[in-house]
Amino acid sequence: MAEFPIGKYIVEPGRKINLHKIDANEHKQFDGNKESAYEQVRALNLKLDELQKIQHGEKQRKVLIVFQGMDASGKDGAIRNVFHSVNPSGVYVAHFGAPSRKELSHDFLWRIHDKVPANGEMVIFNRSHYEDVLIVRVQNLKSKDIWSKRYQHIVNFEKLLYDEGTLIYKFYLHISNEEQRRRLQERVDNPDKHWKIEPNDFKDREKWNDYIDAYNDVLNLTSRKWAPWYIIPSNKKWYRDLIISNILVCELSKLNMKYPKAKIDYTGIIVK
C-alpha cells in the first residue's frame, strides 16, 4: 500500500493558504501508474468497509464527511469511488442544493443539523453548510454583515458536533480553471450528461476568482483540529480517490474500534 504523507494536504489552523498557488494537477506523491492506483483504491475500499462495519456495530461514534468543490470538481465521482464497497447500512449521503422556502424561513444551519449522523452512522455531505459562505457570498444573496458572521457560527456548530462525539473530515476537491472548462465541455458534448448541466454553471465560471477567494476564506477560517480541511488535488481523478481513501482509512484506523461483545457467549452452539 502506498504511503501518503497525508499531513501535506491538511489545512493546519493558523496556516495561511492560497488556492491560486496550489497545483490542482499535483500527483507526485504516488510513484505508480493509474492502474496500480486503482488496485490500491479497491483494497482501501475493502478496508474502509470493514472499519465502517465496526463503527456501525460499536455505535459509539458518529462520522461526518464533507465534500466541497467547484462545479465539476468530482464530488459525485469521489463519493461513488471511495465508498464503492461500503455496506449501505449505516451510511447515508445528504445532498444540499438550493434551500426550500421552509428551510429559508429557519436559520441557515437548521436543515444541516437535521442530517448529521447519529451514533454508529457515517454521513457524507455532498455540498454542505459551507454553501452559505460561498454561493451566498459570491452571488450577493445576503449582505456581508450577515454572511461574514457565519464562519464563526460554523466553527461553533462543528465544535458542538465534535463535543457530542462526531468525527469530522472535510475535503475540498481542488481543480484548475482549465480542467473545469474541459469537464463542462465534455458534458456539453455528451447528450447523456446534459442532465448534469445547470445554466448557472457557465455564469459561475465568470466568477471563478471570486469563488476561489471565498474558498480561501473558508479553508483559512474554519479548519480546526477537531474538524480539519484537506485540500485534495483533483485534476487527476484516480489520484483524488487515492488520497481521500488513504486519509479516511488512516484516520479511522487510529480509533482502534472494536466490535461490541455479545451479551451471551454463543460459542459451541449448534443451530438446528
- Residue 122 located in a structural domain: yes
Q: What is the pLDDT of residues 93-108, one digit of tens each?
A: 999 999 999 999 999 9
**Angle in degrees, CA 155, 242, 52, rounded to 5:** 65
The pLDDT assigned to 32 comes to 72
Residue 4: is its pLDDT beyond 80?
Answer: no
What CATH number is given to the structural domain containing 41? 3.40.50.300
Determine the Cα–Cα distance for residues 161 and 226; give it in Å rounded to an integer.
Answer: 10
Do 74 and 240 touch, CB atoms closer than 8 A? yes
Examine residue 43 and state whether it is found in any structural domain, yes or no.
Answer: yes
260: in domain: no
* Domain assignment of residue 1, yes or no: no
The residue type of 249 is V
Of all residues in the chain, the percent with pLDDT exceeding 70 is 98
DSSP for 181-246, written as a single string: HHHHHHHHH-GGGGGG--HHHHHHHTTHHHHHHHHHHHHHHH-BTTB-EEEEE-SSHHHHHHHHHH
Stretch 264-271: mean pLDDT = 86
For residue 190, tell me if it sits in a domain.
yes
Compute the distance between CA of residue 51 and CA of residue 57 in angstroms, rounded to an integer: 10
The total domain count for the chain is 1
pLDDT score for 223: 98
43-71, pLDDT tens digit by residue? 999 999 999 999 999 999 999 999 999 99
Q: What is the pTM of this model?
A: 0.94
* Residue 228 near residue 10 (C-beta atoms within 8 A): yes
Domain membership of residue 258 (yes or no) is no
132 domain-assigned: yes
Backbone angles phi, psi at 39, to 5 degrees: -60, -40
pLDDT tens by residue, 161-203: 999 999 999 999 999 999 999 999 999 999 999 988 888 888 8
Helix axes 208-222, 150-163, angle to 10 degrees: 40
Question: Percentage of residues in the chain with pLDDT exceeding 90?
Answer: 83
Mean pLDDT computed over 110-133: 98
Domain that holds residue 208: 6-253
Instruction: With beta carbons less than 8 A apart as the criterion, state whether 71 and 180 touch.
Output: yes
Residue 3 predicted with pLDDT over 80? no
On the question of pLDDT at 92 being above 50, the answer is yes
Q: What was the pLDDT predicted at 2?
A: 47
Assigned domain for 202 exists: yes
**Residue 124 CB neighbours (<10 A):** 24
Q: Has residue 77 got a pLDDT over 90? A: yes
Q: Closest Cα partner for 73 from 242, 241, 246?
A: 241
Residue with the three cell numbers 494536504: 9
Edge-to-edge strand order for the sheet containing 229-233? Answer: 91-95, 122-126, 62-69, 166-174, 229-233
**Whether 61 contacts 121, CB under 8 Å:** no
What whole-number distance in Å separates Cα of residue 171 and Cα of residue 68? 6
